[in-house]
A and B are shown apart, each in its own frame.
Chain A
Amino acid sequence: MNFSISDDHQMLKDSAQVFLDKQVSLKPLLTPGATVRDAGYAANWAKIAEMGWPGLLIPEDYGGAGLSCIDLVMIVEELGRTLAPSPFLGTLLGTLAVMKGGDATQKSRVLPRIALGEIALALAAAEADGREDGPDRQTRASQHGGWRITGRKAFVIDAAEAQMLVVTARTDASAARRLFLVDAGQAGVQVAIEPWRDITRQVCTVTLDDAEAEPLDAAGDALWPWVRDRALLALSAENAAGLRHVLDVTADYARQRVAFGRPIGAYQAIKHGLADMLGQAECARTATLYAAWALSEENPRGPLAAAMAKAYSSDAYVEAAHRSIQIFGAIGFTWEMPNHLYLKRARANAELFGAPREHRSRVIDLARAELAA
């Protein structure tokens, strides 16, 4: 039993912090009309690839670092703290699917190229209503010699940058979802970048018209929940660290900004709000670290831990980002301040891969099963 972060993990986090503080600037986004591409989306990615982060989880046999979900969280926290624009998240989600669902040939073909930073990936799971699950998914895969996919996927993170897509689709034979690897460069794949409010991130719609695809079948039905839980973990890590950053800058402002002769942080309305934010930041981080541990150990509580972390951290981050704007006052409401970038990231993350309430409903099912056992 040791709930503390090891020195190795802390060192990894510290090095990521030093690198990103130097590399990332959100300044270009503080001009209205700017997009993620104006804020170093491609340049950051090149540097991130040099750091070896795309291969963080990839086993050493395939050219990666073979590290765990706990290591991943150390990195993603720093990416979330700085809102670093780059196709890291999309690539991570696609990589997870290939790692778990690919056969040996697929893995040897794809994973080393990811680890070298040669290709970016994206995971196309949701459809127009934003949900990944449900019986009414439209995207279909069918087999005429090889597999072909037709349909439309929505809210796909980093798809326009990706050379390869992982696409979920139903097959004619069964209602079960399967995941497929799709070459994004082929004629049957169209990617449109959407006007996503979180301008630190690229979010796209992907239209597939009889696109060639190959199934990722090595893990069977276990693949999707496995990938989903790790997607929830990554978003939770972004949320927890973003929340902590919002707290730090807001507390700093409250110590300096003077009104009625005292720093505004002296007034209890402000002070107590910041104390609440600190409580939320501690809770969000603890829930995230627990999920990281549970998933890295393949502990039976992993899915519950991931659902709890995503539900809690999403709501807490939104609340803190909103409160931060209130404490900054009217200046915090302007485009030229970074506060809105955090509010928008928080709001967007809350909706991706299932809203908090959806995960809370799952938490009840999982908790009931646990209590009954």
Chain B
Amino acid sequence: MDFELPAEDDPRRIEVRAWFAERPRPTGRELAEAGYAAPHWPKPWGLAADAELQLIIDEEIKRAGVNPPNLVNPVAVNNCAQSLLTHGTDAQRERFLTPALAGEEIWCMLFSEPAGGSDLGALRTTARREGDHYVVNGQKIWTSLAHKAKISVLVARTDPSAAKHAGLSQFLIDMASPGVTVRPIIDLSGHENEYNEVFLEDVIVPADRRLGQEGEGWAISMRQLQTERVALSKPGAIWGAGPTARELVAGLDQIGALDDPLVRDEAAEIYIEGEILRLLAYRSLSDRMNAKASGPEGAVRKMLAAPHGQRIVDLAKRVQGPRGMLAGETAFPLTPGRKGIYDDWDYAFWFSPAVTLGVGTQEILKNVVGERMLGLPRELDPTAKGPWNESQTAKRAEKTA
């Protein structure tokens, strides 16, 4: 057991650093072609990098001040594009992967619906096969990046007479297709376009844009939601993209708030939690390096990290007093080197309710942890068995009766 991170003079680090020294402002395509966009992928897309090399590349990207590919095109790099390696056709890989890794084509995920968020399997959007194409109709919601995306990953019902989770399939859709309409949702922070609604009306999707076989949509979607690029991000607000517990302690120290014993105690609790979450992330990384079955750390970490991020910004907001209720009033000056909206303490606070909702609500996550890791009985779902369309007819009949 050795908790020491890869050293400054690690030969692999020196090599990566030299690459960035030669190209101080690399384009997305240069990063992708060097294998730095998804180092853990097999060649030619990645470098088949082990976890340690991934960590080095991640750190060196940050050190070079380059916008990391997994933040430029998160849906493709973190979640979905990997599915093409296993379920895609050669033509799909050829067409989609390089522009995705280069950040030239931004991706979004058309998953959640007004009637199917936590219960994603209850989605109603349909894809009806007609000859060499599908016709898609439905409505999606809470779609990040839909306003910027060229490509979307859609999960839709191709067989309404199959069981709930068996009748779903995935597609790669051009967002410019006729019939696709994107409308921004203004969230409670007042920020526009963090989330969108997407309407799909008679959208024609060529059959060769289906990802995997018909009926594989649920399994592929679940893997995409669980696939975290070996998480190297620091635990913090906004799923690790925002302020961290270390920055909280530094900020509180700066304004003298740590002299208050209650603030001091709470800040210490949050700090300790942040340090432990960082170590938990490294532990999952090590387990992968040692090719051990990944322990429960990954899923548990998500369950712990979201409320942790909320605690960071909540304490920061409370020490401001009434001044904190002035729009845009930040708790502490931005940490040097940070400048985006995710680095803003005020925005991070108002965004914070979302982190226990997105990518599975906290309650669903706890169900998953309890059921998959502790072997507790599964939640009842009367709609899970039998043909999906019949369960829906039965529900309507119940309502009218």
Contacts and interface: CB of A to CB of B under 8 A. Distances in A.
Contacts of B246: 367, 371
Given A1-B52, A371-B253, A360 B377 contact: no
B381 interface: no
Contacts of B94: none
Contacts, number: 156
B1 A274 contact: no
A255 B258 contact: no
Given A4-B287, A251-B374, A255-B377, A282 B363 contact: no
A271 B367 CA distance: 7
Contacts of A2: 1-2, 286, 289-290
A360 B2 contact: no
B282 A279 contact: no
Given A1-B286, A275-B366, A287-B279, A357 B1 contact: no
B119 interface: no
A193 B366 CA distance: 45
A5 interface: yes
Contacts of B130: none
B1 A6 contact: yes
Contacts of A5: 1
A70 interface: yes
Nearest to A265: B376
Nearest to A6: B1
Interface in A233-283: 247, 251, 254-255, 262-263, 265-266, 268, 270-272, 274-276, 278-279, 282-283
A283 to B, nearest CB: 5
Interface stretch (B17-25, B30-38, B296-304, B309-317): B296-304
Contacts of A294: 3
A5 B292 CA distance: 11
B374 A1 contact: no
Contacts of B367: 268, 271-272, 275
By CB atoms of chain A within 10 A, which of B275, B365, B371 has the most?
A: B275
Interface in A130-169: none
Contact of B276 (A255, A268, A292, A308): A308
Interface string B335-368: 0000000000000000000000000000101110
A272 B287 CA distance: 26
Interface stretch (B69-77, B226-234, B262-270): B262-270
A70 B250 CA distance: 31
Contacts of B304: 279, 283
B334 interface: no
B50 to A, nearest CB: 11
Contacts of A278: 296, 300, 369-370, 373-374
B273 interface: yes
A360 B375 contact: no
Contacts of A6: 1
Contacts of B267: 364
Could you tell me the dominant secondary structure of chain B's interface residues?
helix
B4 A266 contact: no
B300 A286 contact: no
B300 A312 contact: no
B300 A282 contact: yes
A306 to B, nearest CB: 12
Interface in A102-119: none
B2 A1 contact: yes
Given A1-B286, A3-B285, A282 B374 contact: no
A361 interface: yes
Interface string A308-336: 10011000000000000000000000000
Contact of A286 (B276, B366, B377): B276
B283 interface: yes
B176 interface: no
A287 B272 CA distance: 9
Nearest to B266: A360
Contacts of A287: 272, 275-276, 279
A336 B264 CA distance: 41
Given A271-B376, A286-B280, A364 B271 contact: yes
Given A279-B304, A364-B249, A266 B377 contact: yes
B5 interface: yes
B283 A4 contact: yes
Nearest to A73: B1
B145 to A, nearest CB: 30
B279 A286 contact: yes
Contacts of B286: 1-4
B264 A275 contact: no
By CB atoms of chain A within 10 A, which of B55, B265, B280, B374 has the most?
A: B374
A268 B366 CA distance: 9
A278 B374 CA distance: 8
A251 B377 contact: no
Interface string B377-399: 11110000000000000000000
A363 B379 CA distance: 41
By CB atoms of chain B within 10 A, which of A283, A293, A308 has the most?
A: A283
Nearest to B288: A4
Contact of A70 (B1, B5, B282, B300): B1
Given A4-B286, A311-B272, A279 B303 contact: yes
Nearest 5 A/B pairs, CB to CB:
A360-B268, A3-B286, A265-B376, A266-B377, A271-B370
Given A3-B286, A279-B369, 18 more contacts: A1-B2, A1-B5, A2-B286, A3-B3, A3-B283, A254-B376, A265-B377, A272-B366, A274-B374, A275-B365, A275-B369, A279-B303, A282-B297, A286-B280, A308-B276, A312-B273, A363-B272, A367-B271
Interface of B: 1-6, 52, 55, 246, 249-250, 253, 258, 261, 264-265, 267-269, 271-273, 275-277, 279-280, 282-283, 285-287, 289-290, 292, 296-297, 300, 303-304, 363, 365-367, 369-371, 373-380
30 contacts: A1-B3, A1-B6, A1-B52, A2-B1, A2-B286, A2-B289, A3-B1, A263-B376, A265-B370, A265-B377, A268-B363, A271-B371, A272-B367, A275-B366, A278-B296, A279-B300, A282-B297, A283-B273, A283-B280, A286-B279, A286-B297, A287-B276, A292-B1, A308-B276, A360-B269, A363-B272, A364-B249, A364-B271, A367-B249, A371-B250
